[in-house]
Structure 1
């Protein structure tokens, strides 16, 4: 994502307009792909109807950009309560008197027209909410985050495929799974400089991390299949107490969307049933499954600080980069982002995106579970509202890092933090392994 601190006023307005447009084009793609019956249907109690997400996107844009930033009269004050995510759990949203598909589309168009006018007329300075167009960037990221949520809803729907995309690139040479030793020491975690960084990414602060080993690629489906077929789901030794209770209650036997036909394991992916691709990162596993696999493999999940140090630390310059490959925005050669492909790429497919120490695919492909509970950094300040981050702080949520193939670059940085319940499996989440280093491994 372009560092907006480097842009002049008019270039910044053009950048914001382009990002708003790009997000809306993706929202339209995800909602126009299905008929109206599909839009209003709840495909899983874990998710909202797609039409709720669409109108919620417009409502948040209206609240922050039309009313707050622009000081304009409300477009639809009467629907604020319907689209307040804290008022109604997802399972209950289909029972609400929601806007229909046509009304929702008309509403978001009207809001966007007003927002573009506000953008032209508003000085992008003078308030923290306006500095470097933060409020607009927040709304861009909000829409892209809901687009990824809608993509997850598409994965949960049944029926013929409606979304299509080319396959990701394949590695020139098959990647060998190996480990990278990350030296111990202090590094700068988080950011105080990225203009559109959200409150839980702030402030930048020094963290001391002991030396550790981390695998160069995420765990693949092929490796995970060894755990499945080796009885890993039936062996209590590998599971935490909470993990085992979840495994038993949910009757887990494999990642979500996997199935076995005879001797062949398949997965369902956006309506396509295919054999398990052994060289792709495993996806749709909960934290508990990732943790159990790590124990089975004699390793562990990385902490959030370890993950970020592996992703951002430049040992030669002794600084933290914006991304593993450097400070420039993600390009298609760096990472599998933005729904360009509807699947993770085979491991080793993005050598240009590797970190200085040789850790691959830290950005894109799959969100990676970490061992860390979700809390604010030292000096955290909620901005611009507590409900974005602070109300979720606590041991109930685990941190995920790095983004997935469904994450847009606008909502993915080396500092970006995601979080979810450790039982969640519908999200595009996988993991990689780490371990403590042994005496003599670090020079």
Structure 2
């Protein structure tokens, strides 16, 4: 995708219409195109909404922001606003709400989309309004729907006893080679963290600011299933010395002894993946581990989780040019450099996508698995909520840990080197893994 602030108004509107169509095709392919009514209205886990709630919610969010806020159109279905307000009803309550049935939800979001495309021509995208300049609010809505699509993929993964519905699109296997070293040295010094000029970046990615870090080492690749199994076989789940006190409480209360969806059978570890049971591929990044598990592994390995700043410097900073890149490999997204967009339905094997390495040679920082960091989710110096506090600010504090980099399920439009995700440290249903770091003086 070309730089957004380089496009004239007509080209930007054409791009927006294309991306709106693409994300809707993806949403329907995870809901009404593959499932019938009862499966769409059922709740597979109290952690997740019924799929039909997600489907109508993305349409209601689109109506709120692209019709009412951006285009000044009268509300279409104001009586359903409360039903689809994520802050009014926790996920555990949503199955009991009078939600739109699947057919009505699909008709509603289609009607919203038709009005959005009709009104797009009259909205100024190169004017002075911060909501519409460079198409910001349209990018926000597209990214929001892609984020819900990733949530819907997590819901599909949690469906127990259901037949496999999702198949990868048949993309060729990624280019692979052996990494030159297990970890990479990052020199001490300042770098530019965050962004002030990315047109579709969220408020929590802003503003760009200077962070000065001491030297450190960071893993070249994410931790693999094989490496994590070594931790398990060494008694990692039975040794409180490796665990954060709250993590040990979680381990004992939950009884967890392996990543989510792993099954021990006949002396072999298997995993359940979208209705299929298969051997755990030892060369893929470990997936579906919570922050406490990642932290315990890092301690056992004599390392630690990287801070969010350490992760971003390794991903974005180019010491030769003295500037931060949008992606590890450069400023523009390029296919074939990362495992994104649901292309494989699982992480890629170790050594994949060497062309996606950062200036330091750190690999697969974008795509494959969301990576836990040690950092609590907070605003940057000079943070300002925009366009609403409920996207970021209400989550700031010690309860949430920052994740970086996206996963195989994340669409390229919904991730970049500055993008920040966050979740509770006990969450495992999301497509999360990690890599480790260590202080340079520990060498």
**TM-score bin, normalised by smaller chain:** over 0.9
Q: Residue 202 and residue 168 in structure 1: after superposition, are their counterparts in 2 closer, same or farther (change >3 A)?
A: farther
Measure, in 1, the Cα distance between the counterparts of 2:163 and 2:360.
Answer: 43
In the TM superposition, residue 177 of structure 1 has moved relative to its aligned partner by: 5.7
Measure, in 2, the Cα distance between the counterparts of 1:37 and 1:215.
Answer: 45
- Is the contact between residue 168 and residue 344 of structure 1 (CA under 8 Å) also seen in structure 2? no
Q: Residue 215 and residue 363 in structure 1: after superposition, are their counterparts in 2 closer, same or farther (change >3 A)?
A: same
> Which residue in 2 is equivalent to 1:195?
199
In the TM superposition, residue 284 of structure 1 has moved relative to its aligned partner by: 0.2
> Which residue in 1 is equivalent to 2:230?
226
Partner deviation per Cα, 1:119-158 (whole Å, 9 max, x = no partner):
1111112210011010100000100000000010000012
Calculate the aligned-residue CA RMSD, in Å. Answer: 1.2
Partner deviation per Cα, 1:180-221 (whole Å, 9 max, x = no partner):
000110000000010000000000000001110001000000
> Which residue in 2 is equivalent to 1:163?
166
Partner deviation per Cα, 1:245-283 (whole Å, 9 max, x = no partner):
011111110000001002100000111111010100000
> Which residue in 2 is equivalent to 1:320?
324
> Which residue in 2 is equivalent to 1:342?
345
> Which residue in 2 is equivalent to 1:25?
25
Match 1:298 to one of 292, 302, 307: 302
In the TM superposition, residue 171 of structure 1 has moved relative to its aligned partner by: 4.6
Measure, in 1, the Cα distance between the counterparts of 2:74 and 2:141.
Answer: 19
> Which residue in 1 is equivalent to 2:39?
38
> Which residue in 1 is equivalent to 2:147?
145
Measure, in 2, the Cα distance between the counterparts of 1:30 and 1:118.
Answer: 27
Is residue 392 from structure 1 mapped to residue 398 from structure 2 by the alignment? no
> Which residue in 2 is equivalent to 1:252?
256
Q: Residue 177 and residue 262 in structure 1: after superposition, are their counterparts in 2 closer, same or farther (change >3 A)?
A: farther
Q: Provide structure 2 residue ranges, at least 5 long, that are not aligned to the other structure.
A: none
> Which residue in 1 is equivalent to 2:247?
243
> Which residue in 2 is equivalent to 1:7?
7
Measure, in 1, the Cα distance between the counterparts of 2:220 and 2:296.
Answer: 20
> SS of 2:121's equivalent?
helix
- Is the contact between residue 176 and residue 353 of structure 2 (CA under 8 Å) also seen in structure 1? no
Q: Provide structure 1 residue ranges, at least 5 long, that are not aligned to the other structure.
A: none
Partner deviation per Cα, 1:147-178 (whole Å, 9 max, x = no partner):
00001000001211000003772554344661
- Is the contact between residue 365 and residue 404 of structure 1 (CA under 8 Å) also seen in structure 2? yes
* TM-score, with structure 2 as normaliser: 0.97
> SS of 2:441's equivalent?
coil
Measure, in 1, the Cα distance between the counterparts of 2:199 and 2:182.
Answer: 36
> Which residue in 1 is equivalent to 2:107?
106
Measure, in 2, the Cα distance between the counterparts of 1:315 and 1:402.
Answer: 20
- Is the contact between residue 179 and residue 220 of structure 2 (CA under 8 Å) also seen in structure 1? no
Measure, in 1, the Cα distance between the counterparts of 2:57 and 2:133.
Answer: 25
Measure, in 2, the Cα distance between the counterparts of 1:2 and 1:296.
Answer: 44
Partner deviation per Cα, 1:257-316 (whole Å, 9 max, x = no partner):
001002100000111111010100000000000000000000000000000000000011
Is residue 56 from structure 1 mapped to residue 78 from structure 2 by the alignment? no
- Is the contact between residue 176 and residue 354 of structure 2 (CA under 8 Å) also seen in structure 1? no
Is residue 284 from structure 1 mapped to residue 268 from structure 2 by the alignment? no
Aligned pairs, number: 439
> SS of 1:160's equivalent?
coil
Partner deviation per Cα, 1:26-51 (whole Å, 9 max, x = no partner):
00100121121110000111000000
- Is the contact between residue 168 and residue 341 of structure 1 (CA under 8 Å) also seen in structure 2? no
